[in-house]
Every structure is written in C-alpha cells, then in structure tokens.
Structure 1
Amino acid sequence: MRELPQGPTPPRNGGAIDTDLHLSRRAVLSGAGALALLSAAGCSTSGDGGMPVLDLDNTVTGSVPQMRPAISVDKNITGADVMYAALTDNGFNVPEVPYLKIKPEFRRQIVVDTTGEAPGTIVVHLKERMLYLVQPGGDAIRYGVGIGKDGFRWSGRANIQYGREWPTWTPPPEMIQRKPELVKWQGGQPGGLTNPLGARALYIYQDGKDTGYRIHGSPEWWSIGQAMSSGCVRLINQDIIDLYSRVSKKNPVVVM
C-alpha cells in the first residue's frame, strides 16, 4: 500500500504586519530635536522641491522594533486566479474554476488556527463548511468544502489510512438501491474528470476500520459550501490536489 507523499513544510517568511507600533521616548525626543534643527539652521531638500530631508543618524533617531508576522506565507496560497487555474495532472486536463462565482471565504487561504488541535490534524467543521489543516506556529490552511445531506453525515475522531490519485469510485449497494442507474458502476468507475471522487481521495478509518467516508475532490465546484453529498467531504479539485500533497499516512482527522 503506497503512503501519501509528505509535503514540504510551508515557508514562513512574511505576512500581515501589526501596525500598532509604539515609538520610544527617545525617538520622540529625537524627532523634536530634529524639528528644532530644521527651524534654526535649515536643511537640504530633494532636488525636485519635495519634502525636506534631515541628515540624521539612526543612532540618534532610535529604531522601530521588529514585529512578528501574524500570518505565514506559502507559495501555494496565492491569488485565486493562480490557485484555480487550469492544470494538467497525471494526463488529465483539470479545467479552471470560475472562482469569482465562489464566495471568498471558501477559497484556499491561511488563517489563524482556532481549532486547538495539533499540527498536521485535519479538522472538518460541518456547520462552517470548512476544512482546516493545522500548521505549526499557530496557523491553519483553510479550504471550503461541501458536506453530506442531513442523515448522511458522520462526525468523530479518526485518521487518514491511505490516499489515492484519480481513484476508482464504487457506489455502495445502498446507493445503487436509491439510484438504480448507478448499477453500471457496481464494479467501479475508473478515475477521471467525471468521477465523483475527483482528482484525489483520502480514506478515513476509525479504530482500524473503514468508515466508508472520504475527503475527496469534485468536478462540481458549485457544490462547495453546500450540503448535498452522500456523507463525504468534497473539495474543489485544485484544493484536494494541494491538501493531498501536504498530508501523510495516519494524519488525525476530526469531523465536528
């Protein structure tokens, strides 16, 4: 059984900066001294007649303390036009997603982690229609998801047992009873662009047993944020490809 690839640790080299800066008393006094110099002795101005330029050394003016970034930066969390562009994956041409038709909160993004779970944990919040992948340092990568209809949902703690790229989908017998037209796939529908599991699937096990529930991709991007599946958690194909690259076998899963 093939283990999932371990994705690289996202770089943490920037992000939103807290602008609530406090100038030191020394800096304020130095600024006042600079104004006195300006009024008494004059100063040079830029050649184009702009604002006066004071020739002061940093040791006189003091320095502004460095602030810790609030949110990390990840090369795969970028503009929506890039994240949801068309791509070729394992020979399949995944179409672009009309992201402007998707609510901004359901697009892939980095947020402050509020789950309280350990890094590497996948948290699915059913009410929010969100999936969080907890990161080290207090952040989480958030993805919008579609969830199961009433009566088809599962919740609890489990783990990812394994994953598949462009997986085969086999409808369970009870689904074939509800939708007899699916009998043609009782032996399995090969992976592809119209396969309900999309580009990737993560298989959820609890206490060593298959729950029957999956975290998977979907060609139906318009279903994100909706409750319309048969219980599984679905992501946009571009998002499940990204999530799949970041998890490995046995990642904890919390569905709440």
Structure 2
Amino acid sequence: MISRRLFMIGLPLTLAACATGGRGRVAEGPMINPEYVAMYSTPLNEPFLIAPVDLRRVDPQWWRQQVEYASTEKPGTIVVDTPAHHLYLIEGGGTAMRYGIGVGREEALQFKGQASIGRKAEWPTWTPTQNMIRRDPERYADYASGLPGGLDNPLGPRALYLYKGGRDTYFRLHGTTEPYTIGTNVSSGCIRLMNQDVIDLYGRVPTGARVVVLS
C-alpha cells in the first residue's frame, strides 16, 4: 500500500513561501535556487544541444526533488501517480526522487497497472502507433516509417519502454519538446518528463526495473 503523504526535504526557492501565477507559472519575485538553475541547464556531453528550462514558467512542484514518501515498494521501483502528475523513484528509507510529468490527455489513453522497463534508448527513433495514425492521420501519417532521434523528436533525449508479460505495451517514459506542458494531460498516452529529468531518471534506472502506474 502506498501513502500519498508527502513532505518536501529541500525547498526549490530561496524563499519558503512563493506565490504562483495562473496555469502553473511561477510569479516574478522569488530568487530561484542556483542549484535548480544548474539542474535544468543545458546538459553536457549530448550529441544535440538541449535548451535550458526557464523555471519561471514551471511551477516548483514539477521540479525534480527528493521527498519523503512512504511505500512498501522496493528501492528502484518507479511509481507513476497519474492523477497527481508525479513520478517517484523509490530510494528506500522512506524517501523517493520525485519528478513532474505530463500524462495522456484522455483517461482511455493512459496506461494503468504494473509493468517493467523492457529496454532503454538514448535519442530514440519515434514511430507513431497505428492507433495514433488512425486517430489523426494528418498529424502522424508522415512519420509512419519513423523519425530519427534529434531535437524535433517528441521522445526527447531518452526513452524507457514499458513491457508487460515480456511484450511491448507501446507506452514509454520519455522526454519532451514541450517542457512547459509538464503537470498537464497533454500526451497521446505516454509519460513525458522534462529532458533534464528523463536524462537523470535514465541514469538511475536499469532495464528490468519494476513500474507501477496508479490511476
């Protein structure tokens, strides 16, 4: 059983109380902790130049941070809380690394239940599913043969592929070309993270890791 009671360990802003504007935007005023600015700067040693995230446009609740999180899941398990738009990587000792996520724009498009990381890929090729092409051929049909990895690729710099029963579910944890949609229901079903966050998660999670998606 997983408790949803959360207690922030580190404050993302230099001021404990910060006002937030409409639609998840951080109001002008509070100084952003330089550690967070560095965390969301351009990553080094990547084949493509990833843009830094303007944290003034992202509510602090979606920033990567260690939190207290009571769970019976083993360390290394990924817990995706779809309604809360948070992903947790269980660390043990009552803590987890928490990431903000974007999820499927319709409940029918959201994965539910348990899976595992069947494979991982850096700068992956993106291929829309047949269902996506049928739903919106004008948007997806041109990419039926696949789009190579790059800055215009909607999977971003990393992808972790969810498998169930040894088979690909066609749901992924991946980056995004739209970092300011984190915290919303906007994707075609996959779980998207800010590019800097998916790179961090990718480095922490091995193939075979357990994934639990709450709905």
Q: Distance in 2 between matches of 1:89 and 1:115?
A: 35
Q: Secondary structure at the match of 1:114?
A: strand
Tell me, yes or no, if structure 1 residue 127 matches structure 2 residue 83.
yes
TM-score by length of structure 1 reads: 0.68
Q: CA offset at residue 114 of structure 1?
A: 2.3
Tell me, yes or no, if structure 1 residue 106 matches structure 2 residue 62.
yes
Counterparts of 1:130-209 in structure 2 under 5 Å?
130-150=86-106, 151-181=108-138, 182-209=140-167
Tell me, yes or no, if structure 1 residue 249 matches structure 2 residue 198.
no
Counterparts of 1:26-37 in structure 2 under 5 Å?
none
Cross-structure match for 2:179:
221
Q: Distance in 2 between matches of 1:174 and 1:230?
A: 10
Q: Distance in 1 between matches of 2:116 and 2:43?
A: 29
Tell me, yes or no, if structure 1 residue 116 matches structure 2 residue 53.
no
Q: Secondary structure at the match of 1:131?
A: strand
Q: Distance in 1 between matches of 2:71 and 2:112?
A: 15
Cα separation, partners in 2 of 1:235 and 1:176, compared to 1, 3 Å: same
TM-score by length of structure 2 reads: 0.81
Contact kept, 8 Å, 1:115 with 1:123, in 2: the verdict is no
Q: Secondary structure at the match of 2:109?
A: coil
Counterparts of 1:224-235 in structure 2 under 5 Å?
224-235=182-193
1:10-40 deviation digits (Å, cap 9, x = unpaired): xxxxx77xxxxxxxxxxxxxxxxxxxxxxxx
Q: Give the aligned length.
A: 181
Q: CA offset at residue 89 of structure 1?
A: 4.2
Q: Distance in 2 between matches of 1:173 and 1:89?
A: 34
Q: CA offset at residue 130 of structure 1?
A: 0.1
Counterparts of 1:67-82 in structure 2 under 5 Å?
79-82=35-38
Amino acid at match of 2:104: G
* 1:90 alignment partner, one of 46, 51, 60: 46
Contact kept, 8 Å, 1:147 with 1:232, in 2: the verdict is yes
Q: CA offset at residue 80 of structure 1?
A: 1.4
Amino acid at match of 2:162: I
Cross-structure match for 1:70:
none
Contact kept, 8 Å, 2:158 with 2:202, in 1: the verdict is yes
Amino acid at match of 1:154: F
Q: CA offset at residue 113 of structure 1?
A: 1.8
Identity of aligned residues (%): 45
Choose 1 or 2 for highest CA Rg: 1
Amino acid at match of 2:210: P
Contact kept, 8 Å, 2:175 with 2:195, in 1: the verdict is yes
Q: Secondary structure at the match of 1:135?
A: strand
Q: Which has the higher strand share?
A: 2
Amino acid at match of 1:112: E
Q: Distance in 1 between matches of 2:146 and 2:45?
A: 21
